[in-house]
Chains A and B, each alone.
Chain A
Amino acid sequence: MNREQTDKIISEIDDKYIDEAACITQAGRTDADEKVRRRSVRIRWGIIAACLLIAALIASTAVACAKEAKEYREAIDFFNLNGLSAEGLTRTEVKEVYRDISTKNYTNSKTSDVIMKAVPGLELQEKDLSPEEIEAINWDNLRMKVYPGGISFRLYSPPSGLINGLECYKDRALLWRTDFEEYFILNYWYSEDGTAVYLHKCEKKDGTIVFSDDYNIALIDNTGKVIWNTKLEHTYVASNVAGILSNDDSTWTAIGYGVVREPWHKYLFFERYDANGNRISTHQTEFDDKGVVIQCAARMGNGFIISTGEQSLTPSASSTLLYVDRKGNVLEEISYETDDCYYVITDMVAFHGRLYLAGNEFSKQYLDRSDLMEQYKQSSSGIALSSDEVTRFVWEHFTAVLLVCDPENWQLDIFCSVCGSEAGLLSSIDPDRLGWTVERISSAYYSPYTSSHTFEGTSRVIQYEFDPRGRLIDRKETEDIVYFSR
């Protein structure tokens, strides 16, 4: 059908739909509006808390104005369009919340309630730490991983310098400590069913630590006792385990990738272990993307969801998610990217039928290293950057995001984000509460002498909680501090 006929058809759309669509805005848009406003709403926690009293005063002294009806209609349109609930709000409150969101000038306590309950794409804003708070950070007590619900882990090293001990804390009180005297701890994953550990075997010879070619996986129960410790029976010349997941039936699945040579091939592998650590099945799938690794993995329905991407701290692409069945067959492949940013997934969890993904947003501007260094030079003398400068830069460019995916259509979208932060971990705190830890960068400094990263510093852990409908129901500022490097 030609253009004119198409014109004619579209022109005939009913008046009521034309009118409905017009009421969303009556203002023409300028070029500046072309910029994508990816996240709609900001919450300034401090301001909201401080303005509770002001809001109450405003409510008690509110007077009707001539534009009341018009403004109310606009507010209701806005609520409907954005899936906000006006339930329990007075007419005045509906207008005030609308005004707050439109002007980004948060004066009403109801605004945060409304936003927290509904808006996908919510941008959460954390306050900056004061110099006194940064000064008070105890560097000797840094956690390595902080899970929602108050569980945290710390690796410790004996004088030999190897990391071969793992400590588990609940609300910063030591729960257990487990040593692996002949192993170096490469990674670990906590779940209610226990903590699975990935180990590299080593031994001390003539006072020197020598690594063998053997890799093990082990399971620690919730008292710190090692339930099993099993050698990985691989024939790969190189491999890495990216996740050891409980199957909820006392079996566990190790997911990773391995490389064979002559000819070169890379494989995803899925190995299932019984309650005693015996391997009961193994599957592998070709995965020949060079430079691509598995970033994290999670169970989902009858299969697994795997995040793949670059290992680099400065990626040139977003993560690609693979949904695979238990035999490793790839059933879906999805990714998420915007004009301005890449998204690298760091943790995932299925919760009430939806997949939640924690990750970091990488501004493409930040990733342009030469441009970045130019900014440095312009903003300071040489590379002798102050911690304040670096911290401000990091706050501006680093954003933690929580994405959500509906497995019905595999559509992926940003659920909420936190500026100046890195994504932490996701897990169900209880059957009806999803927890997400976010590492709010407290201080950062330029680290020119390290080859693997440019910035390092510390982050304070904030925990957000969501209900089964995805509504934000709580936020806690924990006392946990984690190390940060990028």
Chain B
Amino acid sequence: MDDSKIIEIFFERSEQAITELSAKYGAICLHVAENILGNRQDAEECVADAYLAVWNTIPPQRPELLRSYILRIVRNLSLKKYHENTAQKRNSHYDIALEEIQDCFSSPSSVDKEIEAEQIARVIDRFLEGLDRPDRIMFVRRYWYGDSMGDLAGLLHKSRHYISVRLSRLRKSLKQFLTEEGVVL
């Protein structure tokens, strides 16, 4: 079903909307949640909570991109749950990905310490804009979706080695870009 049609059903307050949303985006939502939480049961709970959140926010909201709207909610709920579970050993795909990229932001300059996350994210958006599409997708899948190297190798039909080298170069480029933009020293 078309996204706009699903949103219409939400506006009609029909529970069929959640069924349609789940049928269309359930798998990828679960994938993102599981990448972050490393636990199927928690992931399923987060996805269910996300459906409820969508039900509660549409209407009044009418998202332009329904997929990224639901994914963002799933991700935020998963991260929240993940932080609640900090006592657990950190070993999810997302942890590993986060550790990789953390280094890019490791030295906020004294001048720009006040730059908010959102502003840095806009710089990252500009960085992403300048990338080739496959590189951009690889980057976002790794660091936003928390996909494993194996997932990416399968998705992009490349070797794990290729993905690893490519991501390493992308991080290096990002760090340089952030430095040039005055975000990090």
- A interface with B by C-beta (< 8 Å): 1, 3-29, 33-41, 80-83, 119, 121, 336-339, 409, 411, 413-414
In the docked arrangement, what's the CA distance between A21 and B138, Å? 8
Cβ-defined partner of A17 (8 Å) among B69, B108, B128, B159: B128
Determine whether the beta carbon of A9 is less than 8 Å from that of B28: no
Determine whether the beta carbon of B118 is less than 8 Å from that of A12: yes
Q: How far is the CB of B65 from chain A (nearest CB, A)?
A: 5
In the docked arrangement, what's the CA distance between A80 and B11, Å? 35
Q: Which residues of A contact B118 (CB under 8 A)?
A: 12
Determine whether the beta carbon of A80 is less than 8 Å from that of B133: yes
Query: Of B14-22, B51-59, B98-106, which binds chain A?
Result: B98-106
In the docked arrangement, what's the CA distance between A409 and B166, Å? 11
Say yes or no: A19-B65 contact (C-beta < 8 A), given A338-B160, A411-B165. yes
Determine whether the beta carbon of A28 is less than 8 Å from that of B121: no
In the docked arrangement, what's the CA distance between A39 and B31, Å? 24
In the docked arrangement, what's the CA distance between A362 and B168, Å? 26
Q: Which residues of A contact B121 (CB under 8 A)?
A: 9-14
Q: Which residues of B contact A1 (CB under 8 A)?
A: 102, 105-106, 108
- B24 (CB) vs chain A CBs: closest residue: A26
Q: How far is the CB of A305 from chain B (nearest CB, A)?
A: 19
Determine whether the beta carbon of B75 is less than 8 Å from that of A11: yes
**Residue B5 is within 8 A (CB to CB) of chain A in the complex:** no
- Number of residue pairs spanning A and B whose beta carbons lie under 8 angstroms apart: 158
Determine whether the beta carbon of B105 is less than 8 Å from that of A6: yes
Q: Which residues of B contact A7 (CB under 8 A)?
A: 79, 98
Q: How far is the CB of B77 from chain A (nearest CB, A)?
A: 12
Number of interface residues of B (CB under 8 A): 56
**Residue B136 is within 8 A (CB to CB) of chain A in the complex:** yes
* SS of B interface (majority): helix
Q: How far is the CB of A130 from chain B (nearest CB, A)?
A: 32
In the docked arrangement, what's the CA distance between A28 and B22, Å? 13
Q: Which residues of A contact B31 (CB under 8 A)?
A: 27-29
Q: How far is the CB of B105 from chain A (nearest CB, A)?
A: 4
Determine whether the beta carbon of B140 is less than 8 Å from that of A21: yes
In the docked arrangement, what's the CA distance between A357 and B122, Å? 42
Q: Which residues of A contact B69 (CB under 8 A)?
A: 15
Say yes or no: A27-B158 contact (C-beta < 8 A), given A11-B75, A20-B136, A33-B150. no
In the docked arrangement, what's the CA distance between A339 and B121, Å? 34
Determine whether the beta carbon of B34 is less than 8 Å from that of A18: no
Cβ-defined partner of B83 (8 Å) among A4, A19, A81, A339: A4
Among B102-146, those with CB < 8 Å from A are: 102, 105-106, 108, 117-118, 120-122, 124-125, 128, 133-134, 136-137, 140-141, 143-145
- B interface with A by C-beta (< 8 Å): 24-25, 27-28, 30-31, 34, 64-65, 67-69, 71-72, 75-76, 79, 83, 98, 101-102, 105-106, 108, 117-118, 120-122, 124-125, 128, 133-134, 136-137, 140-141, 143-145, 148, 150-151, 153-162, 165, 169
- A119 (CB) vs chain B CBs: closest residue: B157
Determine whether the beta carbon of B160 is less than 8 Å from that of A21: no
Q: How far is the CB of B172 from chain A (nearest CB, A)?
A: 11
Chain A to chain B: the 9 pairs with minimum beta-carbon distance, closest first: A12-B121, A40-B157, A34-B150, A28-B31, A8-B117, A21-B140, A18-B68, A1-B105, A15-B68
In the docked arrangement, what's the CA distance between A338 and B148, Å? 16
In the docked arrangement, what's the CA distance between A13 and B144, Å? 8
A-B CB contact pairs (8 Å), 30 listed: A1-B102, A1-B105, A6-B105, A9-B120, A9-B121, A9-B124, A11-B117, A12-B118, A13-B121, A13-B128, A14-B121, A14-B128, A17-B136, A17-B140, A18-B144, A20-B133, A20-B140, A21-B140, A25-B28, A27-B31, A29-B154, A34-B151, A35-B154, A36-B160, A38-B159, A40-B157, A80-B133, A82-B134, A336-B161, A337-B161
Q: Which residues of B contact A339 (CB under 8 A)?
A: 160-161
Determine whether the beta carbon of A24 is less than 8 Å from that of B68: no
- B124 (CB) vs chain A CBs: closest residue: A13
Q: Which residues of B contact A21 (CB under 8 A)?
A: 136-137, 140-141, 144-145
In the docked arrangement, what's the CA distance between A270 and B161, Å? 33
Q: Which residues of B contact A23 (CB under 8 A)?
A: 67
Cβ-defined partner of B27 (8 Å) among A28, A34, A80: A28
- B43 (CB) vs chain A CBs: closest residue: A28
Q: How far is the CB of A29 from chain B (nearest CB, A)?
A: 5
Further 20 A-B residue pairs, CB within 8 A, beyond A10-B98, A34-B154? A1-B108, A7-B98, A11-B72, A11-B79, A12-B121, A18-B68, A18-B72, A18-B140, A20-B133, A21-B145, A24-B155, A28-B30, A36-B150, A38-B159, A40-B158, A83-B134, A121-B159, A338-B161, A411-B165, A413-B159
Q: Which residues of B contact A17 (CB under 8 A)?
A: 125, 128, 136, 140, 144
Determine whether the beta carbon of A33 is less than 8 Å from that of B68: no
Choose among B27, B136, B161 the residue with the greatest number of A CB atoms under 10 Å from its CB: B161
In the docked arrangement, what's the CA distance between A338 and B160, Å? 7
- B99 (CB) vs chain A CBs: closest residue: A3
Determine whether the beta carbon of B157 is less than 8 Å from that of A37: yes
Determine whether the beta carbon of B102 is less than 8 Å from that of A3: yes
In the docked arrangement, what's the CA distance between A19 and B67, Å? 6
Q: Which residues of B contact A6 (CB under 8 A)?
A: 98, 101-102, 105
Q: Which residues of A contact B64 (CB under 8 A)?
A: 15
In the docked arrangement, what's the CA distance between A234 and B160, Å? 45
Determine whether the beta carbon of B153 is less than 8 Å from that of A13: no
Q: How far is the CB of B2 from chain A (nearest CB, A)?
A: 9
In the docked arrangement, what's the CA distance between A26 and B66, Å? 14
- A409 (CB) vs chain B CBs: closest residue: B169
Q: How far is the CB of A336 from chain B (nearest CB, A)?
A: 7
